[in-house]
Amino acid sequence: MLKEKKTFIIGHKNPDTDSICSAVAYAALKNKIGDGEFVAKRAGEVNNETKYVLDFFGVETPELLDHVGTQVKDVSIKPTPVLTSDISIKNAWNTMRDLQESTMPVVDDDNGRLQGIISVKDIATANMDIYETRILAMSRTKYTNVLDAIDGTMIVGDPEEEITKGKILIGAANPDLLENYVEDGDMLLTGNRFENQLCGIEMDAGCIVVCTGAPISKTIQKLAQEKGCKVISTPHDTFMVARLISQSAPVRYFMKKDNLITFGSEDFISDIKGTLAKIRHRDFPVLDREGHYCGMLSRRSLLAQENKKIIMVDHNEMSQAVDGIEEAEILEIIDHHRIGSLETTLPVYFRNQPVGCTATIIYEMYQENDVEVEPAIAGLLCSAILSDTLMFRSPTCTAKDKKTAEALAKIAGIDIQDHAEKMFRAGSSLADKTPEEIFYQDFKKFSGHGKSFGAGQISSMDRGELEQLRPQIAAYMESVVKKDEMLFFLLTNILTESSDLVFAGEGAKELAEAAFGATEENWVYVPGMVSRKKQFVPSVLSALQQ
The pLDDT confidence band at residue 1, using thresholds 50, 70 and 90, is: very low
**pLDDT score, position 527:** 94
Domain boundaries, the chain: 6-69+308-427, 74-128+253-303, 131-248, 435-545
74-128+253-303 against 435-545: fold identical:
no
Domain 6-69+308-427 has CATH 3.40.50.300: no
Which residue blocks in 348-495 are alpha helix, DSSP H?
358-368, 375-388, 399-412, 416-427, 435-439, 463-480
Instruction: Output the pLDDT for position 129.
Output: 61
Residues in the chain: 546
Q: What is the pLDDT of residues 198-216, one digit of tens each?
A: 999 999 999 999 999 999 9
Q: 333-348 pLDDT, tens per residue?
A: 999 998 877 788 889 9
3-state helix, strand, coil split of the chain in percent (to 5) is 40, 20, 40
CB-based contact 420:397 (threshold 8 Å): no
Residue 431: the pLDDT is 67
pLDDT at position 42 over 70:
yes
Report domain 74-128+253-303's class. Answer: alpha beta
* Pairwise pLDDT comparison (495 vs 316), residue with the higher score: 316
How do residues 408-430 score in pLDDT, each as one tens digit?
999 999 999 999 989 988 887 77
Q: Would you list the DSSP string of 273-311?
A: HHHHHH---SEEEEE-TTSBEEEEEEHHHHHT--PPEEE
| Predicted confidence (pLDDT) per residue in 346-389, tens digit | 899 999 999 999 999 999 999 999 999 999 999 999 999 999 99
Q: Side chain identity at 153, as an amino acid letter?
A: T
Q: For residue 131, what pLDDT is reported?
A: 65
Average pLDDT of the residues of the chain: 90
Task: State the CATH class of domain 131-248.
Answer: alpha beta
Residue 117, pLDDT above cutoff 60: yes
State how far the Cα of 147 lies from the Cα of 229, in Å rounded to an integer.
Answer: 15
| Stretch 235-249: mean pLDDT | 91
Output phi, psi for 446, to 5 deg: -135, 160
The tens digit of pLDDT for each residue in 129-187 reads 666 788 899 999 999 999 999 999 999 999 999 999 999 999 877 877 888 888 999 99
pLDDT at 365: 97
**For 435-545, CATH number?**
3.10.310.20
CA-based nearest residue to 6, from 333, 351, 329, 365: 329
pLDDT tens for each residue of 246-301 = 889 999 888 988 888 889 888 888 888 778 777 777 788 899 888 889 888 887 77
pLDDT per position as a tens digit, 73-111: 888 788 888 999 999 989 999 999 998 888 889 998 778
- State mean pLDDT over 298-307: 73
Closest listed residue to residue 529, CA positions, set 435, 390, 409, 407: 390
- Check residue 462 and give its pLDDT: 80
pLDDT in tens, 56-76: 999 999 999 999 988 888 887
Mean pLDDT for 112-137 is 82
